[in-house]
Amino acid sequence: MSSELITLFMFTSMLLLMATGQRVFGVIGFVGAAFGLWLWGQGSAELPFNATIQVMNWFPLITVPFFVFMGYMLSESGIAANLYRMFHVWFGGLRGGLAIGTIGLMVLIACMNGLSVAGMAIGATVALPQLLAHGYDKRMVTGVIQGGSSLGILLPPSVVLVLYAMIARQPVLQLWLAGIMPGLLMAALFTIYIWWRCRRNPEMGPALPPEELAAITRSEKLRLLSAGLLPLGIFGAIMSLFMTGVTSLVESSVIGALLATLAALFTGRLNSKVLEETTRNTLGVSCMFLWIILGALCFSSVYDGLGAVRAIEALLLNTWDLSPWTILIMMMASFVVLGIFLDDTAMLVIVAPLYIPLVRSLGFDPIWFGVLYTITCQIAYITPPFGYNLFLMRAMAPPEISLSDIYSSIWPFFFLMIATMVLIMVFPQIALWLPQLYTGR
């Protein structure tokens, strides 16, 4: 059997097994281990275990538990509830203002969170009940929370970009900086969309009633504003320490987790229950993430051994003679399609070693590609059937929100994400301006 056929066989068996609903890490790891043994016999028995050594040597992965911890500390301690309240009183007077404020909340949370889980938790438990109580359209707000929390992986600190940086051998800082403008652009598009929908259709997002507005005093407004400074301050501290080289990436993540804990302590919100929930949830999410990487590394080392990377490169570039942009668009489309079946972490570990050399030989910037990839991950997060945010939303949403509400809520946000992606493809400067500004100094 040729190596292309074996690779195809591997991917098909993985997708088929995945459909049975068994745990993702186990399915991917099994296919890798079984094909390794079948192809090379006993000699490859250590292949799955070697992946654990590889995980150990990828030291930036140490940031995973800490960035997850930061996000959970923020949500479990109730600091996030204060943040929500800030947007509530400042934007509540506008039509659709609470939904717009929720996007702002999600941007702030994204600055303190490496994945999207904490954003989802805060959105579903803090923002959603308030939005529903104030008569907002349930489909719109469900989408707002799912789309908004996915910004967690595009805005720094992003664990997905750390993983990409390791695979593509690019500096993490450059990727994080490259994610900022696209993240803000996407948030702006979400905001414009909400504003436009509520303008055309005021009952989708009514302004706060005058009596509730009157009850908000100016001193409360100003006091709450300081709540918003907290995450920005922590974000600023991590980024400046990291950018000036005072602390390394991993150390900065520890500082971030420490500052979040101290913030909870000094606002009198840290108790044993908060600490227990934060620590336990951090273990759960980190284990899920790292075990998937473990399985996916085993899988990708098998097809790497087959020489599939070179075979595919030769096929696309020499045999089919496609133009660079056609190949790029094919790659993006394949991400979106694979994202339907595969979780994004596994997808990155499995597909990126295949694509990144290709991206380089086509003459594209790997940093720019990293941003595009992250947006496809965001799309994968919210699109059925296999989306993290969908998964979490189903678990956390209040009972009045049905499954069909959740599924139909995401379409506008899906198209807005595609629009952001197209904008960044046409104007790479949106992503590359900040990193170039930083290195140009």
Partner 1 sequence: MSEAIRLYVRWVDTFNRWVGRFAMRLIFVMAALMLYAIGSRLFFGAPVNWSMEMSQFLLVSYFLLGGPYSMQMGSHVRMDLFYSQLSARRRAATDVFTILFVMFYLGVLLWGGISSTEYAWSYNQKNYTSWAPPMWPVKAVMTFGIFLMLLQAISALFKDVAIARGKPIE
Q: What does the binding site for partner 1 look like in residue numbers (CB under 8 A)? A: 17-27, 29-30, 32-34, 37, 45-50, 52-53, 55-57, 59, 61-62, 65-66, 69, 246-247, 250-251, 254-255, 257-258, 279-280, 282-288, 290-292, 295, 298, 341-343, 384-386, 388, 391
Q: Which is nearer to partner 1, 191 or 376 (CB)?
A: 376
Residue pair 261/312 in contact by the 8 Å Cβ criterion: no
**CA–CA distance, 335 with 339 (Å, rounded to integer):** 6
3 state SS of 273: helix
Least distance to partner 1, CB of residue 42, Å: 9
Q: Which is nearer to partner 1, 297 or 431 (CB)?
A: 297
Least distance to partner 1, CB of residue 143, Å: 20
Least distance to partner 1, CB of residue 34, Å: 7
Least distance to partner 1, CB of residue 83, Å: 24
Q: Is the peptide bond before 385 cis (omega within 30 degrees of 0)?
A: yes
Residue pair 282/68 in contact by the 8 Å Cβ criterion: yes
Least distance to partner 1, CB of residue 246, Å: 7
Residue pair 145/128 in contact by the 8 Å Cβ criterion: yes
Q: Is the peptide bond before 210 cis (omega within 30 degrees of 0)?
A: no
Q: Which is nearer to partner 1, 298 or 430 (CB)?
A: 298
Least distance to partner 1, CB of residue 430, Å: 31
The DSSP line for 64-125 is: HHHHHHHHHHHHHTTHHHHHHHHHHHHHTTSTTHHHHHHHHHHHHHHTT-SSSHHHHHHIII
- Single-letter code of the amino acid located at 241: L
b/e 119-151 (16+ beta carbons within 10 angstroms → b): bbbbbbbbbbebbbebebbbbbbbbbbbbbbbb
Q: Which is nearer to partner 1, 90 or 341 (CB)?
A: 341
| Rounded (5°) CA angle 261-264-265 | 85
Least distance to partner 1, CB of residue 441, Å: 23
Least distance to partner 1, CB of residue 16, Å: 11
| Inter-axis angle of helices 366-382 and 138-149, nearest 10 | 150
Q: Which is nearer to partner 1, 259 or 424 (CB)?
A: 259
Q: Which is nearer to partner 1, 203 or 304 (CB)?
A: 304
Q: Which is nearer to partner 1, 199 or 394 (CB)?
A: 394
Q: Which is nearer to partner 1, 16 or 314 (CB)?
A: 16
